Structure 1
C-alpha cells in the first residue's frame, strides 16, 4: 500500500503552488520529481512533481511500459486501489533520487523508451560525469 509521508506531501504541494505562481507570471517552472511509484511486477512507473489542492491529483511523468512515457496527471487514490497478483500493490520507491529536472527526465525517458532505462542512463551519467543533457550512448 502506498504511503505518502507528510514531508513528501508538503513538497508536492509546494511545487504545485510554485507552478501556479509561475503560470501567472508567465515563467517556466521545471522542478525535479519528488516521488517515484512503481509496479513491482511490470515496468509501469510514475514520477510525481506536484499534488493538487484535492490531495489526490498528482502531476508528473507516467510510463506504463509501452515505450511512450508521457507528462500528465494521475490519481493517488487510483494507484492505491490497484491490486496486483500475489498480494502486491503499487509501491513507492524509498530509495528514489531525482537526479535531474522533470523536463530532462521526460526527454531522456522518451528517447530511451522508458523511465526505468532513463533512470539507469541518468544515474550512470551522474556517476561518470557524462553530460546529463545527453546521457544516451552514441547512435541512440
Structure 2
C-alpha cells in the first residue's frame, strides 16, 4: 500500500509550511488536525500525522502500544520499511477523518493510556454532545 497519496503529501507539507511560518513570525504554532492515520494491522501501534517536512519526517502522535502515547517525529521511510507477519506492512486508514486538534487526541490518549481507547472516548463524547444539543 502506498502510505501517502500526492494529495495527502501536499496537505502535510502545507501544514508544515504553516507551522514554520507561524514560528518565523513569532506566533503560536497552530494546533493542527491530523491528516492521516497509520496503523499496524497485526498490532497496537497507531500514528496520527499532522505534517511532513521536506525530508519525509512526519510529525504527530505516536502510540506504539506500550501505554505511553507521545507527540513527536517519525520517519515515513521507516514506516514504509516495516515488514510484519504474513507479508503485511504498516497501513493507512483509508476512512480516517481527523475531527479534533492533535492536542485533544494527545491529551485523551495520555489519560486513557491508548490512542485507540481515546478515540473511542472522544467520538462517544462528540456524539453525546451532538445528540444532547
Q: Is the 8 A contact 1:99 1:122 kept in 2?
A: no
Which residue is 1:101 aligned to? 101
Aligned to 2:21, the other structure's residue is in SS state: helix
RMSD: 1.1
**Stretches of 4+ moved more than 3 A in 1?**
none
Q: What TM-score, normalized to structure 1?
A: 0.88
Q: Is the 8 A contact 1:2 1:90 kept in 2?
A: no
- Bigger fraction of residues in helix: 2
What 5-or-longer segments of structure 1 have no aligned partner? 131-140
What 5-or-longer segments of structure 2 have no aligned partner? none
Mapping of residues 1-140 of structure 1, within 5 Å: 1-28=1-28, 29-54=30-55, 56-129=56-129
Q: What TM-score, normalized to structure 2?
A: 0.93
Partners of 1:93 and 1:51 in 2: CA distance: 17
Partners of 2:45 and 2:62 in 1: CA distance: 8
